[in-house]
Amino acid sequence: MQAIAGFSWWAAVFVAPVVRRVTLGNLDPAAVAVFDIPLFVVASAVAASGVRAAAVVATVWTGVVAAALAVYATITTEAGWGVLSMGAAAAGSLIALCLVLLGRVPTEWIVRGPFAFRPASSRRTAAAHVASTFGQIVLFWGFFLVVIPAALAFLQQRWAVTLPFPWVAGPVGVTVLVLASALGVWSAVVMSTLGAGTPLPSAMPNRLVIAGPYRWIRNPMAVAGIVQGAAIGLILQSWLVVAYAVAGSLVWNYAVRPLEETDLKERFGEEFRHYRNTVRCWIPQLSTSQRSPIRWRARGPTS
Give residue 295's pLDDT. 42
Is a pLDDT exceeding 90 seen at residue 48? no
pLDDT tens per residue across span 231-283: 999 999 999 999 999 999 999 999 889 988 988 898 889 999 999 999 998 88
Is a pLDDT exceeding 60 seen at residue 303? no
Give residue 287's pLDDT. 60
Is a pLDDT exceeding 70 seen at residue 290? no
Segment among 90-94, 129-133, 260-264, 286-290 with least mean pLDDT: 286-290
Distance separating alpha carbons of residues 263 and 207, to the nearest angstrom = 13
Segment among 67-71, 111-115, 118-122, 295-299 with least mean pLDDT: 295-299
Give residue 82's pLDDT. 94
Calculate mean pLDDT across residues 208-237: 94
pLDDT tens per residue across span 65-94: 999 999 999 999 999 999 999 999 999 899
What's the pTM?
Answer: 0.88
3-state secondary structure the chain: CHHHHHHHHHHHHHHCHHHHHHHHCCCCHHHHHHHHHHHHHHHHHHHCCCCHHHHHHHHHHHHHHHHHHHHHHHHHCCCHHHHHHHHHHHHHHHHHHHHHHHCCCCHHHHHCHHHCCCECCCCCCHHHHHHHHHHHHHHHHHHHHHHHHHHHHHHHHHCCCCCCCCCCHHHHHHHHHHHHHHHHHHHHHHHHHHCCCCCCHHHECCCCCCCHHHHCCCCHHHHHHHHHHHHHHHHHCCHHHHHHHHHHHHHHHHHHHHHHHHHHHHHHHHHHHHHHHHCCCCCCCCCCCCCCHHHCCCCCCCC
The rounded mean pLDDT for the chain is 88
